[in-house]
Amino acid sequence: MRTHSLPYKKTGYFTKLICDYLDENPTISPFYNRFPKLENFRAQFEEKRSQLSLDQRRALAKRIMFQYGYNNLSQSTLSNIDLLYEPDTFTVTTGHQLNLFTGPLYFLYKIFSTINLAEQLNKEYPKHYFVPIYWMATEDHDFDEINYFNLFGSKVEWNRDASGAVGELSTEGLNEVKAILKKKLGPGKNAEKLVAYFAQAYKENSNLADATRHLANLMFWEYGLVIIDGNDPELKKEFIPYAEKELTENLSFKLISETTKKLTALGFPEQVHPREINLFYIKENLRERIIEKEGRFYVNETDISFSKEEILTELHDNPERFSPNALLRPLYQEVILPNLCYIGGGGELAYWFQLKDYFQKVEVPFPMLLLRNSALLIPKHISEKLKKLNTEIEELFLKQHELITRHTHKVSAIDLDFSKQKEFLQQQFKDLYTLAEKTDVSFLGAVGAQEKKQLNGLDNLEKRLIKAQKRKFSEELDRLKNLQNQLFPKQGLQERHLNFSEFYLEYEEELLALLKENLDPLDFNFTVLEL
């Protein structure tokens, strides 16, 4: 197996904000706490150490164990949960939606980034303990974002009516999805294993949160991953003071809006728009925004409403009914976890950058932010075909029309670049400009028009010649297009489209071992693995 690294900015798939962050551009520094380097973690855990009391740690560990229910746990996961009791234990965390059967590949990259960072920290700081956390986004209500996964170019979809928090959805109807999966995967030992994974997770658990926990626990069994569900009445008690400020002071709206203005003034787009109240009201089959009008609090799209006194009583009596949105969930996470670092994709980090001033105001340490690993997996048969076409890995990240044009230049026996001719022509016209200035300045416009006409003529000849060569090599170019389409479905990153099962069919458990071994969370480059 061969590995390659490619700077994120050279892939063309990452925003200027993220590339500037990875370059430690000073303009971004006001929006984060410490850059994620090993040597910076000591100051981070010294800052975080005093936030959680021993009672809070004890409550956290107990609730996590309660959430696992009847699941079997590996010894490494049990040990990590026990370590949460200790004042010198800290966490590194990633979060993800409850995508059906893990959804796209980058779910695995997020988890292994988190596991590997925890291991590196345990080696670097042996007197402390670092636990990898997967925070399940059980309170999301965007069912259409999580009810499918892609397999062999088409969707495997869970069709049903859904409302409210997705974690509470019944797994009813997933037997039909299992039948589709089994048919698509076909016969074979690895196909049977995948179907068994699916069946164990979704048939043996009654709701989507429990099923997702079961599957993630099974897949990352040996790595000590600890899974947490924030939709928990006991854990939400810790968040009551912050939710109260949200309801009565609109504190997050004011501060996040100010920070967002600073980001947009630098030319970076707003990732998430803050609202006056960044909380939802959540009950069975319901998760809707809380809106305040003239001193009364309304639950959007319902008949539910509260006075100020009533909603504060509801918050204290039933904290589980208050659900933070995307901008407030990070604070909730950092309030209940001894967390040092959040690991996420580019879009996630973009909205974390909106939160720094708000965290400072509510006196909660702002975590370090780490871009999760990104990778391109190239199966052996595709690697061999690319070698025959003499195509470099870096070229595959080009837009398809650019890739095809570059390859045409490469394979053509004719020089398709008219740059020398254009330079020669421009030099001739430079002499004409000099002559015109000496004789008749009014003639300059005519010289300029003629220069433009002849340069356009050369451009057209160059394009026609390239087009002719593309026709000549059309068969080879079609093969190259097909290979790029396989590696970049819909001209997007593979990790955002393909499900792990396509690779598991061939590589089985070795797939997870390869990702674990080759994804270094502190190597700020895009990873290419030729399998």
Q: How many residues does the chain have?
A: 531
Residue 474 tokens read as 């059309």
Rounded to an integer, what distance in angstroms lies between the CA atom of residue 366 and that of residue 421?
A: 58
Using an 8 Å Cβ cutoff, are 107 and 148 in contact? no
- Number of Cβ within a 10 Å radius of residue 266: 15
d(CA 452, CA 150): 50
Average pLDDT (31-47) is 97
303-322 tens-digit pLDDT: 999 999 999 999 999 999 99
CA dist 380 to 156, 266, 503, 506, 518, Å?
Answer: 26, 44, 11, 11, 17
> So what's the pLDDT on residue 463?
78
pLDDT band with cut points at 50, 70 and 90 for residue 416: low
Reply yes or no on whether the pLDDT at 436 is more than 90.
Answer: no
Q: Quick one: average pLDDT of 453-481?
A: 83
Local confidence band at 423 (pLDDT 50, 70, 90 cut-offs): confident
The pLDDT value given to residue 454: 73
Residue 174 has pLDDT above 70, yes or no: yes
pLDDT(22) > 90:
yes
pLDDT of residue 58: 97
* Beta-ladder partners of 290: 299
- pLDDT per residue as tens digits for the range 326-373: 999 999 999 999 999 999 999 999 999 999 999 999 999 999 999 999
pLDDT at 422: 65
- Phi and psi dihedrals of 499, rounded to 5? -95, 150
Mean per-residue pLDDT for 116-124? 98
Confidence band, pLDDT 50/70/90 cuts, at residue 434: confident
279-283 and 226-229 strand pairing: unpaired
* DSSP conformation class of 104: S
Above pLDDT 70, what percent of the chain? 98
Q: Are strands 296-299 and 368-371 parallel, antiparallel or unpaired?
A: unpaired
Q: What is the pLDDT of residue 415?
A: 72
pLDDT level of residue 443 (50, 70, 90 thresholds):
confident
Residue 425 pLDDT level (bands cut at 50, 70, 90)? low
Answer yes or no: are the C-beta atoms of 32 and 17 closer than 8 Å.
Answer: no
Is there a contact between 130 and 123 (Cβ–Cβ < 8 Å)? no
* Cα distance between residue 186 and residue 188, in whole Å: 7
The predicted pLDDT at position 466 comes to 78
Closest CA to 1 of 394, 507, 509, 496: 507
Residue 199 has pLDDT above 80, yes or no: yes
Burial label for 416, CB within 10 Å (0-12, 13-18, 19+), is middle
Chain centroid offset of residue 209 CA: 20
Confirm if 389 and 476 have CB atoms less than 8 A apart: yes
pLDDT of residue 418: 63
Across the range 377-405, mean pLDDT stands at 96
User: Is the pLDDT score of 71 beyond 70?
Assistant: yes
Distance between CA atoms of residues 9 and 16, nearest Å: 8
pLDDT(494) > 70: yes
The closest alpha carbon to 505, from 184, 153, 176, 155, belongs to 184
Residue 139 has pLDDT above 80, yes or no: yes
% of the chain residues with pLDDT over 90? 87
Which pLDDT score is estimated for 230? 97
What is the rounded CA–CA span in Å between residue 374 and residue 465? 38
pLDDT tens string 268-305: 999 999 999 999 999 999 999 999 999 999 999 999 99
Euclidean distance between CA atoms 83 and 74, whole angstroms: 14
